[in-house]
Amino acid sequence: MYFLKKIYAVIENKEARQEMERWAQVYQNGFFQVEIYGIEELLMADGVEVRLSEEAPVTQENTLWITDAPYFARMLQESKKEVPALAYLHEDDSGEYTSGIGASDRDRDFSCCRYAMMHPLELDAEYFELIYRRLKRLPWDILETERCTLRESTVADVPAFYEIYKEPSITAYMENLFLTPEEENAYMEDYIDKVYAYYDFGVWTVLEKATGQVIGRAGLSYREGFEDPELGFVIGVPWQGQGLAYEVCSAILDYGRRVLDFERVQVFVEPGNEASLSLCRKLGFKESEPLTLDGKKYMRLIAIL
């Protein structure tokens, strides 16, 4: 499902505009509508749902703006609404990546935009959908298995996490959630902004396909002091014993190899956690070394992807 329905591209540079027009000819059919303007054209266009005022533009929903004009990007970002805007950088005559208007250093400043692109013909429709989701804080869909789907976690998942983690067996070998939902919500918002947005991976939410219910968490992350990414997983007690952890973790390892280009993945298992140790061995992990982290003993295992 695509959340993005329309792209408005406000492009001043002639060559950049032509490249965006060629992209639209290839990709827009069947995905979303693309309209391309210069600044003056935009101001005179009929039916463009943007109002330029002293308070900045107000735009329609499900719309991504792309511009090579930093002053227009700033205008979008200063709006009282959160307007998703993507900077379009391209080469000027000197070969440096810049904007469509190059009168001053300030005119070249796209610091108001979280994301920038170059060469749209090298990008597919999925790229713009994912950028739109990131800017609107909508979760990315990660992968599907036979019985589960994995997507990025959201604050709305937190109540379900508390239901899962209230079982003593869940926290016997892993860190618990924060004491209050307010703290966990704040942590989740920070995680979305600083982990998902930076790495494009992390620990994700596991949902049961048949019901859409949150049944666990699983994914890949980095542990300070180690170069290899780490696999982590938890499946709620009502859904244990059905092979779901193996199904989900197998798919994550495959995703790590195919999409993220990981060659090795590690896990840390506490002594006595025989269920996790058995699962990791079934997944192809081999014992590497015992170690102590933050006062706790672990067995470190490695899987070659």
**pLDDT digit string (tens) for 153-165?**
999 999 999 999 9
Give the span between the Cα atoms of 207 and 156, in whole angstroms: 13
Sheet holding 33-37, edge to edge: 33-37, 6-10, 63-67, 85-88, 116-117
Given a cut of 80, whether residue 15 has pLDDT beyond it is: yes
Residue 92: per-residue pLDDT: 59
Q: Is the pLDDT of residue 174 over 70?
A: yes
- Band (pLDDT 50/70/90 cuts) for residue 172 is very high
- Name the pTM for this structure: 0.85
Report in angstroms the alpha-carbon separations of 290 from 223, 270, 298.
16, 10, 6
Residue partners of 148: CB distance under 8 A and separation at least 6: 206, 207, 208, 209, 215, 244, 247, 248
Of the candidates 63, 68, 73, which has an alpha carbon nearest to the alpha carbon of residue 112? 73
pLDDT at residue 107 tops 70: no
Mean pLDDT of the chain: 88
| pLDDT tier at 57, thresholds 50, 70, 90 | low
Domains and CATH numbers, the chain: 6-135 (3.40.50), 141-304 (3.40.630.30)
Residue 61: per-residue pLDDT: 79
Q: What is the CB neighbour count within 10 angstroms for residue 242? A: 12
Residue 109: band (very low, low, confident or very high) from pLDDT cuts 50, 70, 90: confident
